[in-house]
Amino acid sequence: MGSVLIKEISKLKDFRGIRALSEPLTLKKFNILVGRNNSGKSTLLDALYLFPDPDRGSPIRKKVSGDTVKSFLSQRKSGSRSLVYKYDGVAELIFQADLDGSWKTWEAHISPNKPSEIIIEGKKSEKISDYTQTLFFPYDTQFMKKLDDFLQEQEEKLMKAQIHKEVAKFISGELDENFTEVFLKKDGWYLRRDDATYIHIMDIGDGAKKIVRTYMVIRLLKPRLILWDDFDAAMHPSFVKGLLKWLYSGNWQVVLSTHSLDVLYYLLDILEDGKNEDEEENIQVLLLRRVNDILYHKALSLEELEDLVDSNTDPRFLATTIKV
């Protein structure tokens, strides 16, 4: 199966503000979602995060926002009814996914205030409460801050696995300084310079702290699917390209949303650096447009992506040209 966990969203019916998909949506190893505000980007990420069991727990969100993935997504909006279109009925999701090493049809029925129903290959499935292969970074300042609680609890594991040194090396590669490790003190995370002096990570900027948190969580939990809403928000451009390259190089599937033309520009750099025809098969930019609560989508070809970047056109505007 490679690094792709979900290869198709076959059906998305009455979920959040979406009545239906215009047609099935194919996913690759590395996917970037582009569209105007309220176009459905966050809704797609929320739907993917429910796989493989909306009622499963998470080591992070148990500390942050509740006991289950479904409750976490509900609390971000207006309660459990917010997961269902116009707060009434049943939401249906169908994916083609890698389950036990083979492609299978996974289906979920989501109802307000009721346990979710999971159906695999036409048969009801047992709950998978301890499944942690999907990791989601929402556009949520409070969530990002509270990642520190989880990381502090895992400090010993981070040190044992040398992740605190890995992330320092990554930060060094993006800045004109040489750091040897990340170090946790009572007032937060510090970076240790090679001269044995320390600098508080907040003195480098919010973008650096965001990267340190997410890098360490990803390396520690080793997910198969990474979801990231508004990927480049509050992130300095000097970090964006390096982080994109690192995310693309990993043995996981990535789906992220952005409003930034810079992200697409750096994506072209990754394709150019790869100098391999297979690179284009692994990466796609998906334009999203919502009309009458139907979600339409279009995958850009490499030539269309190059034209978009060369013209310096806001990618959100291009998404409005999708025919309906």
Which residue segments constitute the domains of the chain, with CATH numbers given?
6-133+225-319 (3.40.50.300), 148-222 (no CATH)
Strand 198-200, strand 25-26: pairing: unpaired
Per residue in 240-249, pLDDT (tens digit) is: 888 999 999 8
Distance CA 219, CA 161 (A): 9
What element of type H or E holds 284? strand 283-291
Q: What is the pLDDT of residue 65?
A: 47
Per the CB < 8 A criterion, the answer to whether 273 and 22 are in contact is no
The first and second tokens of residue 53, run together, are 């069991």
Q: What is the pLDDT of residue 11?
A: 98
Strand 283-291, strand 294-299: pairing: antiparallel
Q: What are phi and psi of 272, to 5 degrees?
A: -70, -40
Distance CA 183, CA 155 (A): 9
User: Look-up: residue for tokens 């998909």?
Assistant: 21
Phi-psi region of 30 (alpha: psi -120 to 50; beta: other; left: phi over 0): beta
The string of DSSP letters for 178-216 reads -EEEEEEETTEEEEEETTS-EEEGGGT-HHHHHHHHHHH
**Longest CA pairwise span in the chain (Å):** 62
The first and second tokens of residue 109, run together, are 């029925």
Per residue in 237-285, pLDDT (tens digit) is: 778 888 999 999 899 999 999 988 888 888 888 877 755 556 678 899 9
**Ranges in the chain, pLDDT < 50:** 1, 64-65
